[in-house]
């Protein structure tokens, strides 16, 4: 099970995610990210309470990062990536060197994400 919670602040919107981000939740993740894209210029994604993440959700997050950057919006991961997220990224060979798009300079998986 996964839970999504949005909190708006002066800095932008923070999307808190808790639980297992796997393929059965990729549609809900996409919906939350699309809603954030439509309503904020700065999204902060909190993955600290994610207990698992698979390729489908990593790809949805990558696509969101690319969309935010192309729209001159900011997107960041809150805090350091957890060991769970780092292991999942390594397991599926996702890193900034695999991406040839302009957002490579501001990869979502780097500490800090994009600065818009």
Report the predicted TM-score, pTM, of the whole model to 2 decimal places: 0.88
Whether 41 is covered by a domain: the verdict is yes
pLDDT digits (tens), the chain, 116 positions = 899 999 999 999 999 999 999 999 999 999 999 999 999 999 999 999 999 999 999 999 999 998 998 999 999 999 888 899 989 988 988 766 666 665 556 777 775 444 44
Phi-psi region of 12 (alpha: psi -120 to 50; beta: other; left: phi over 0): left
Q: Write out the two tokens for 15.
A: 């999307």
Measure the CA–CA gap between 29 and 69, rounded to whole angstroms. 18
The helix/strand/coil state of 101 is: coil
Report how many domains make up the chain.
1
Q: Where residue 51 sits, what CATH number does that domain have? A: 3.30.750.24
Residue 36's domain spans which residues? 2-106
Q: Note whether residue 43 is domain-resident.
A: yes
């Amino acid at each position: 099970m996964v839970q999504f919670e949005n909190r708006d602040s002066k800095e932008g919107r923070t999307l808190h995610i808790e639980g297992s981000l796997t393929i059965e939740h990729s549609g809900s993740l996409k919906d939350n990210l699309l809603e954030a894209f439509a309503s904020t210029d700065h999204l902060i994604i909190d993955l600290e309470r994610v207990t698992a993440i698979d390729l489908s959700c990593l790809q949805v997050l990558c696509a969101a990062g690319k969309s935010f950057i192309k729209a001159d919006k900011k997107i960041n991961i809150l805090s350091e990536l957890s060991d769970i997220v780092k292991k999942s990224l390594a397991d599926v060979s996702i890193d900034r060197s695999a991406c040839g798009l302009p957002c490579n300079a501001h990869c979502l998986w780097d500490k800090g994400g994009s600065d818009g």
